[in-house]
């Protein structure tokens, strides 16, 4: 571990979950309902320094001091921490290429030192990494780690990390298609609120939420009529010359669909029987199947490293020359877009909402739709 072990224990000491992880059945998948409402336990003080945060599936976690070092397998939670001014404490994410930090370049004083961020996944997760990183808190749903066998972690590993290093606080929220997720879900800002409680940044969260709500209200006030909004097919295909696609369901309430819901995009796969990507569903579709649906808009994930122009010159150009893809209405009308990152947090979501608003409704929206300076001030605490 880094530094003096006893000193780190004093700095980071926390109380074990009520009843213990395994004894409480929380890692076995107890049901707490699947709604976003009905908050039972907020961040509450239990002494002069300690406070408790409750979040499914783990339940109550009591901290005796505010965490300084932290990680999240999910890049969306990493973005939440950054949005609360905690970028300097971020030590690791699951897969670095999935954590899109380019949005921070437009915000003065907001950045992440990517060289200092460790990648957790490398053909599995080495449990010893958790001990080496010595984090105060892990903003990761432990069920996600345990249900995906390719991580190579077992319940005993989670218990050992919890007891020796720091607790897990997190919920798999980017999608809602996993059958093992039988405990409550949170929407993006429900999860973000919990992260704010962990870091003791409730006022900063409230300012960010207000900024988001005002921005979204302004955008939605000018949305075209429902009949003028597109139905979209959202899928993944990382190749510049794609032939097979993994479909997502826009109707899924996972946080990675938030911008589509907020902008009134409907699901072109509704009523088709085609399911969305999940832990146990790796179905693929081809252009023939896609042509049967013939979506007005096509969103292709796996190309966030490209600009709009680069995407048009590669993926869309290939589709235009393809014997079947070229018959798609979306291809004929150039309504094929990068689909946005799978994992996103509140900062990234603001930029994505702006991006899709200006792409889908260019007659209504253009340019910057929110104040970068004001957002920077909220994130850096200068507001």
Q: How confident is the model at residue 378 (pLDDT cuts 50, 70, 90)?
A: very high
Higher pLDDT, 22 or 16: 16
Q: Give which of 21, 106, 99 is closest to 60, Cα–Cα.
A: 21
Nearest alpha carbon to residue 287 among 224, 332, 230, 245? 245
Q: Which residue has the higher pLDDT, 190 or 6?
A: 190
pLDDT band at 49 (very low <50, low <70, confident <90, very high): confident
Long-range contacts of 311-316 (CB under 8 A, 24+ apart): 311/337, 311/338, 314/240, 314/241, 315/240, 315/241, 315/242
pLDDT score of 282:
62
pLDDT at 45 over 80: no
| pLDDT surpassing 90 at residue 138 | yes
- State the average pLDDT over residues 187-203: 98
Taking only the tens place, the pLDDT of each residue in 213-241 is: 999 999 999 999 999 999 999 999 999 99
Sequence-distant (6+) residues with CB within 8 A of 297 are: 230, 231, 232, 233, 265, 268, 330, 335, 336, 337, 360
Point out the least confidently predicted range of 17-31, 265-279, 299-313.
17-31
**What pLDDT was estimated at residue 38?**
39
Q: Encode the chain in three state secondary structure.
A: CCCCHHHHHHHHCEECCCCCCCCCCHHHCCCCCCCCCCCCCCCEECCCCCEEEEECCCEEEEECCCCCCEEECCHHHHHHHHHCCCHHHEEEECCHHHCCCHHHHHCCCCCCCHHHCEECECCCECHHHHHHHCCCEECCCHHHHHHCHHHCCCHHHHHHHHHHCCCECCCCCCCCCCCCCCCCCCCHHHHHHHHHHHHCCHHHHHHHHHHHHHHHHHHHHCCCCHHHCCEEEEEECCCCCCCEEEECCCCCCCHHHHHHHHCCCEECCCCCCCCCCECCECCCEEHHHHHHHCCCEEEEECCCCCCHHHHHHHHHHHHHHCCCHHHCHHHHCCCEEECCCCCCCHHHHHHHHHHHHHHHCCCCCCCCCCCHHHHHHHHHCCC
pLDDT band at residue 6 using 50, 70 and 90 as cut-offs: very low
Q: Which fold has domain 5-210?
A: Rossmann fold (3.40.50)
- Give 170-183 pLDDT, tens digit per residue: 999 999 989 999 99
Taking domain 222-380, whether its CATH number is 3.40.50.1980 is answered by: yes
Q: Residue 279: its pLDDT value, please?
A: 62
Output the six-digit token pair for 358.
């200006």
Give the residue from 125, 137, 120 showing the smallest Cα distance to 55. 137
Q: Which residue has the higher pLDDT, 49 or 116?
A: 116
Is the pLDDT confidence value at 158 over 80? yes
Highest mean pLDDT among 1-5, 211-215, 289-293: 211-215
Residue 48: band (very low, low, confident or very high) from pLDDT cuts 50, 70, 90 = low
For residues 8 and 247, which has the higher predicted lDDT (pLDDT)? 247
Q: What is the pLDDT of residue 64?
A: 94
Least confident of 279-288, 328-337, 373-382: 279-288
- Round the average pLDDT of the chain to a whole number and report it: 89
pTM of the model: 0.89
Parts of the chain belonging to CATH 3.40.50.1980: 5-210, 222-380
Supply 258's token pair.
């938030």
Q: Which pLDDT band, with edges at 50, 70 and 90, does 43 fall under? A: low
- pLDDT score recorded for residue 39: 45
Single out the residue of 11, 302, 272 nearest to residue 135, CA to CA: 11
- What mean pLDDT do residues 365-372 have? 98
Q: What percent of the chain has pLDDT over 70?
A: 86
**pLDDT tens for residues 290-333?**
999 999 999 999 999 999 999 999 999 999 999 999 999 999 99
> Could you give the CA distance from residue 381 to residue 376 in angstroms, rounded to a whole number?
8
Which of 68, 312, 347, 34 has its CA nearest to residue 205? 347
pLDDT band at 273 (very low <50, low <70, confident <90, very high): confident
Q: How confident is the model at residue 283 (pLDDT cuts 50, 70, 90)?
A: confident
pLDDT of residue 281: 61
Q: What is the pLDDT of residue 271?
A: 86
Query: In whole angstroms, what is the distance from residue 61 CA to residue 283 CA?
Result: 38
């Amino acid at each position: 571990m880094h530094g003096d072990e006893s000193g780190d224990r004093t700095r980071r000491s926390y109380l074990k979950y009520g009843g213990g992880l395994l004894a409480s059945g929380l890692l076995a998948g107890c049901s707490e309902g699947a709604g976003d409402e009905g908050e039972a336990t907020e961040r509450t003080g239990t002494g002069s320094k300690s406070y408790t945060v409750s979040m499914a599936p783990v339940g109550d976690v009591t901290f005796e001091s505010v965490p300084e070092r932290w990680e999240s397998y999910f890049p969306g939670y990493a973005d939440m921490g950054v949005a609360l001014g905690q970028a300097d404490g971020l030590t690791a994410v699951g897969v670095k290429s999935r954590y899109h930090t380019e949005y921070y370049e437009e915000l003065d004083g907001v950045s992440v030192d990517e060289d200092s961020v460790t990648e957790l996944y490398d053909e599995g997760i080495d449990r010893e990494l958790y001990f080496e990183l010595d984090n105060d808190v892990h903003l990761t749903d432990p069920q996600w780690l345990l249900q995906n066998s390719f991580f190579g972690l077992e319940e005993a590993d989670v218990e050992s990390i919890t007891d020796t290093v720091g607790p897990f606080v997190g919920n798999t929220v980017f999608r809602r298609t996993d059958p093992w997720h039988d405990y409550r879900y949170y929407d993006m800002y429900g999860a973000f609120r919990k992260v704010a409680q962990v870091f003791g940044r409730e006022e900063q969260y409230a300012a960010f939420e207000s900024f988001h709500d005002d921005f979204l209200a302004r955008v939605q006030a000018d949305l075209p009529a429902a009949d003028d909004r597109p139905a979209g097919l959202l899928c993944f295909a990382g190749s510049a010359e794609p032939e097979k696609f993994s479909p997502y369901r826009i109707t899924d309430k996972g946080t990675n669909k938030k911008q589509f819901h907020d902008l009134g995009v409907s699901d072109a796969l509704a009523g088709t029987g085609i399911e969305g990507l999940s832990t146990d569903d790796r179905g693929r579709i081809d252009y023939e199947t896609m042509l049967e649906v013939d979506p007005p808009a096509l969103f292709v994930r796996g190309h966030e490293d490209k600009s709009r122009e680069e995407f048009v010159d590669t993926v869309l150009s290939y589709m235009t020359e393809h014997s079947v893809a070229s018959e798609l209405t979306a291809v004929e009308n150039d309504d094929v877009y990068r689909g946005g990152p799978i994992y996103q947090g509140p900062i990234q979501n603001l930029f994505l909402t702006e991006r899709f608003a200006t792409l889908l409704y260019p007659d209504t929206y253009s340019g910057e739709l929110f104040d970068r300076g004001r957002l920077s001030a909220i994130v850096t605490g200068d507001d």
